[in-house]
Chain A
């Protein structure tokens, strides 16, 4: 009798425990990018394997930043996993706002993460976010227009060549712009592009003493070159063009060249959406002649666990699943190798199937070339390539990029914009105690 009761109690407890395990739900905040949406479609695979349910909160990038920043700084506990980038991760990690991603399983193979990505998502050698996909920037160009212009794209061109090629490819009568680049205000939009352009002309945001450098000749040269080239060969109204606007122009055959995120390669070569899918070539982002840095950035959308979550183990399980080699295989099997999340793992670029994807090689080379610890020709006190990994940067760079966009729109001169950028940045940095 005693044994029967004990068995009944044990069975009941097992059911309760199983039900509790099955009822476990994690909430993930993420962005509405193609790879993220694809991942949501495979969530059932994770739930079936682990019994953990997943709720998604998908937001536009800027809204997501504001939302997760508010939540993490107030310990709101709304999310168990947050999709954040390379800018936030080291800062939040240093503040103790993220759970260190140590103790990941052997099968996960943390050593397989691309060193540039793992480094950018770490603080003091501790990984705080796992890269879901990574990107750099590179040149995407129309092979037919380049040929028509009688030019050949080098694998590693200079800005001077790009300007010459852009002028040669421009055909205003047929609405073809030689080059399309970001001019839209915002630190992650036009701000990111002009920062790497500055890097490739030898400029930097700050010297070793955190003194802003917009009054130096390298910035003037970079900004003047950019404005002149875009006036000659860029689309009308480029001051308001960001990633999506340029993607739209390129897909419709209205750009000879486009320098932007490497993830765009899968969009422009997709025949369902792009009218020029079979006429696209790739090259490394340019540098100014004699400058040893190219205009390519480094970014990752990564998954991190906010400190204080009640679901740390389940969240870690999800991150291991979503950023694993097996997940890449799963996507490749169902949607082809061109659609797997790129730029996160070394093994992906050693895979023979992936090597056949036309933009794989150039994506990897671009990622490997960007060094967040050493962004610029001259020494800097900061990490980050297209950003400066300090909390004040987002606000400062947004204002600076607005000044630059005003130059693109013809509302002020290069000198005026640089003087304002210098004064504003110096004031903000002083107020922040640098």
Chain B
């Protein structure tokens, strides 16, 4: 009897999980489906789910109108560069906070996080003026720095959480064996924290990839990433939903595939330390 209840409960939980998963994924699925419709089919009422004439025309139009590869390359450089730079800065910071905490460590962590609470538009003008002065407008380097700074609090927080799970005695033993600080961080701490660092890198890469305020406001032509590519298909006067969906699908496809392949690491990293 108990076994039957368990199986029933398991089945129910599985069904519920699938339902929630599908609900969350549905907007993406709908975008992908719409990208294969004509503009008229895209706005049809009642909406057409699968029973429409599938077409690749929207993808052809988008390819013809926009230089997709240039946008993609910019996204890769900006998201990859900002994540890498962020991790290089955050690892020593998180090490200090995790293994050599001071009275103010928690305050510093909270202060770092509080910078995320300021609406981005509040500092648009100062940053824009700085970019003009430094010649960084519409450059990938400028965006790498800005996105790194925006995501740095999250990177530090995540790494700090992972590092706290590593016994300090191991690092102490390394120190007693004569390891320098650099060797301790690079050869002892980092290899042990690889799952945590990997999930931090993945999450921040995704955040940087999807960032759409600074990437739209600080770029024009040369450094414009895929967020600008999508924005160029949004229209207030005209129904171009099918083309917009095709552009969106092309923009999210790389990150969706990356997320799909690394989902185990992502889940493992995000739930690391959640259950003790």
> In the complex, A71→B219 CA distance in Å?
11
Query: Nearest-CB distance from A189 to chain B (Å)?
Result: 8
> In the complex, A37→B240 CA distance in Å?
11
Q: With an 8 A cutoff between CB atoms, is A244 at the interface? A: yes
Q: With an 8 A cutoff between CB atoms, is A55 at the interface? A: yes
Who on chain B is nearest to A186 by CB? Answer: B236
> In the complex, A332→B44 CA distance in Å?
30
Who on chain B is nearest to A189 by CB? Answer: B236
Query: Nearest-CB distance from A275 to chain B (Å)?
Result: 8
> In the complex, A66→B237 CA distance in Å?
18
Pair A33/B40 contact, Cβ less than 8 Å: no
Pair B235/A32 contact, Cβ less than 8 Å: yes
Contact A34-B238, Cβ < 8 Å, known A55-B221, A252-B45: yes
Pair B221/A70 contact, Cβ less than 8 Å: no
Query: Nearest-CB distance from A261 to chain B (Å)?
Result: 7
> In the complex, A273→B220 CA distance in Å?
32
Q: With an 8 A cutoff between CB atoms, is A76 at the interface? A: yes
Chain A residues with CB under 8 Å of B231's CB are 58-60, 63
Chain A residues with CB under 8 Å of B129's CB are 74
Who on chain B is nearest to A274 by CB? Answer: B40
Q: With an 8 A cutoff between CB atoms, is B224 at the interface? A: yes
Pair A63/B216 contact, Cβ less than 8 Å: yes
Pair A78/B138 contact, Cβ less than 8 Å: yes
Query: Nearest-CB distance from B42 to chain A (Å)?
Result: 9
Chain B residues with CB under 8 Å of A275's CB are 40
Residue of A67, A264, A273 near B217 (CB, 8 A) is: A67
Contact A247-B239, Cβ < 8 Å, known A40-B65, A74-B129, A252-B45: yes
Query: Nearest-CB distance from A242 to chain B (Å)?
Result: 7
Q: With an 8 A cutoff between CB atoms, is B198 at the interface? A: no
Chain A residues with CB under 8 Å of B238's CB are 32-34, 244, 247, 267
Q: With an 8 A cutoff between CB atoms, is B68 at the interface? A: no
Pair A67/B216 contact, Cβ less than 8 Å: yes
> In the complex, A96→B82 CA distance in Å?
38
Please, what's the 1-or-0 string for A42-82, where 1 marks a CB less than 8 Å from any CB in chain B? 00000000000001011111110011001100111111000
Q: With an 8 A cutoff between CB atoms, is A163 at the interface? A: no
Q: How many of chain B's residues have a CB under 8 angstroms from any CB in A?
A: 30
Contact A263-B124, Cβ < 8 Å, known A60-B231, A78-B138: no
Pair A32/B239 contact, Cβ less than 8 Å: no
Query: Nearest-CB distance from B271 to chain A (Å)?
Result: 36
Who on chain B is nearest to A242 by CB? Answer: B236
> In the complex, A32→B233 CA distance in Å?
6
Q: With an 8 A cutoff between CB atoms, is A272 at the interface? A: yes
Q: With an 8 A cutoff between CB atoms, is A422 at the interface? A: no
Q: With an 8 A cutoff between CB atoms, is A316 at the interface? A: no
Contact A32-B240, Cβ < 8 Å, known A74-B128, A74-B132: yes
Q: With an 8 A cutoff between CB atoms, is B137 at the interface? A: yes
Pair A78/B137 contact, Cβ less than 8 Å: yes
Q: With an 8 A cutoff between CB atoms, is A248 at the interface? A: yes
Most buried by A among B39, B220, B238: B238
Query: Nearest-CB distance from B32 to chain A (Å)?
Result: 20
From 306 to 341 in chain A, residues with beta carbon under 8 angstroms from any chain B beta carbon are none
Pair B128/A76 contact, Cβ less than 8 Å: yes
Residue of B39, B125, B235 near A31 (CB, 8 A) is: B235
Q: With an 8 A cutoff between CB atoms, is A243 at the interface? A: yes
Q: With an 8 A cutoff between CB atoms, is B234 at the interface? A: yes
> In the complex, A40→B44 CA distance in Å?
28
> In the complex, A77→B43 CA distance in Å?
39
Pair A244/B236 contact, Cβ less than 8 Å: yes
Please, what's the 1-or-0 string for B217-249, where 1 marks a CB less than 8 Å from any CB in chain A? 100110010001001111111111000000000
Pair B237/A273 contact, Cβ less than 8 Å: no
Please, what's the 1-or-0 string for A239-279, where 1 marks a CB less than 8 Å from any CB in chain B? 00011100110011010000001011001000011010000
> In the complex, A32→B231 CA distance in Å?
9
Pair A61/B43 contact, Cβ less than 8 Å: no
Pair B239/A33 contact, Cβ less than 8 Å: no
Chain A residues with CB under 8 Å of B39's CB are 273
Pair B137/A59 contact, Cβ less than 8 Å: no
> In the complex, A22→B24 CA distance in Å?
51
Query: Which 6 residue pairs spanning A and B have beta carbons closest together?
Result: A58-B232, A60-B234, A32-B235, A248-B43, A78-B220, A61-B236
A-B contact pairs, 20 of them (CB 8 A): A31-B235, A32-B233, A33-B235, A33-B236, A33-B238, A37-B65, A40-B65, A58-B232, A63-B216, A66-B217, A70-B124, A70-B128, A76-B132, A247-B239, A252-B44, A261-B237, A263-B237, A267-B239, A272-B40, A275-B40
Binding site for B on A (CB under 8 A): 27, 29, 31-34, 37, 40, 55, 57-63, 66-67, 70-71, 74-79, 188-189, 242-244, 247-248, 251-252, 254, 261, 263-264, 267, 272-273, 275
Given A32-B232, A61-B237, 10 more A-B residue pairs with CB atoms under 8 Å apart are A27-B220, A32-B238, A33-B238, A40-B65, A57-B232, A58-B232, A59-B231, A63-B231, A76-B132, A273-B40
